[in-house]
Amino acid sequence: MLHQLIEYTTQIHPRARSTFANVSDIKTPDALAAVFELSHSAPYLLREFAAGETPILPKHIYDVPGSDPLKNANNNAPVGTGPYVFSEWVRGSHIVYKRNPNYWDNPKPYLDQLIVKFQQDAVVRTLALETGDADIAYRTPVALSEIARLKKEGKLGFETKGNN
């Protein structure tokens, strides 16, 4: 299945072809281990196994004889085991994630749902944060020219240490 995962990923992910170029073989000595053999060193490879870069594909859904993984219905309604499960995707608008009732770390997550909104306009994103319509935003969601003003007002918190 790992060979298929890399094969599928290199077909659909823009960086996967170069990311996995040095993988010459994958061995699975037991059910809990995978050994990647490389033709050249690739220290960046460890980061590529984060879910955003190389998602885990559930075998019972994607390894169906005669099916095309690129046309699988779950590509638009993903399956996962994290604290939230996919609920709704309105392209260009938002994605809704609901609390996973089967999450292993009960009572987490503490929120019942997450709504991820997509907004191209930095002014609209700034207003959403200022008015409380948005609670958190990734990277630098506001216009750089607004940061000094927003910091001075003190209504918003800014993290400058990154996400590590």
Q: Residue 101: exposed, middle, or buried by beta-carbon count in 10 A (0-12, 13-18, 19+)? A: exposed
pLDDT (tens, 9 = 90+) of the chain, 164 residues, equals 566 767 777 777 778 888 888 988 889 899 888 899 999 998 888 888 777 777 777 778 877 788 887 788 888 888 777 899 999 999 999 999 999 999 999 999 999 999 999 999 999 999 999 999 998 888 788 888 888 999 999 888 888 787 65
Q: In terms of pTM, does the model score above 0.75?
A: no
